[in-house]
Amino acid sequence: MAGNATSGNANDEPTARPSLNNRRKAALRLEIARHAVDLFTAQGVATTKGEQIAHAAGISTRTLWRHFPTKESCVRPLLAAGLEAATEQLRDWPPNVGLLRFFVNSCESATLPQAEPAVLNLIRMTHTEPALRVVWLQAHDDALPVLCRLLADRSGLSSDNLRIKVHAATLNGALRAAAEDFAQRYATDNSAGTEELTACLHTALHTATEGLPY
């Protein structure tokens, strides 16, 4: 492997780091998302205007709409960040470690990022705000092809294989259920952290691995 890495083979080159422009764009989108959540939390989604989000973020309304088609979609970067972190973790999933143990170990070793309060507030709002629910579900739907490819690579099957699709959907659903359960259960407990999140994740993934008992 070491020899291949220095041989100049294009297939062995590391993935290129995002350009400075793309990193700045991603940082701006996250900043907009946080301001949107703050406003949605304080005054509700219906009464929040795109102009208010833009003003809070220090940008023009025109710039806001270049990045997001609707005010509700402004929160998408925060919702997608956690899923992207989870899928990135799976790239380092050792072949001799089960999925449940891998995720629990990741939580306990703090290699999974801790959910920030804005994200938890946002996930809670997805239960009462249909437009935000759509964004939340879309983020998970977009993660499905990534999970399919990761599981396919691990199993040697095609990502179009039905079993792979079902396994990816099951994992996706378990991650969503765990995040929602944690956000709702500890809505007023600011001390809840890694231990509580690990417990929610363990229960969700353990249930998923049990299969359907009906």
Structural domains for the chain: 16-74 (1.10.10.60), 75-210 (1.10.357.10)
- Its pTM stands at 0.81
To the nearest whole percent, how much of the chain has pLDDT over 70? 89
* Overall average pLDDT of the 185-211 stretch: 84
- DSSP track, 30-71: HHHHHHHHHHHHHH-TTT--HHHHHHHHTS-HHHHHHH-SSS
Q: How far is the C-alpha of 172 from the C-alpha of 84, rounded, in Å?
A: 12
More confident residue, 200 or 15: 200
Q: How far is the C-alpha of 24 from the C-alpha of 28, rounded, in Å?
A: 6
To the nearest whole percent, how much of the chain has pLDDT over 90? 57
The pLDDT-based confidence of 111 (bands split at 50, 70, 90) is: low
pLDDT at 2: 36
- Asked if 33 and 77 touch (Cβ cutoff 8 Å), the reply is yes
pLDDT, tens digit, 9 for 90 and up, residues 77-89 = 998 887 888 788 8
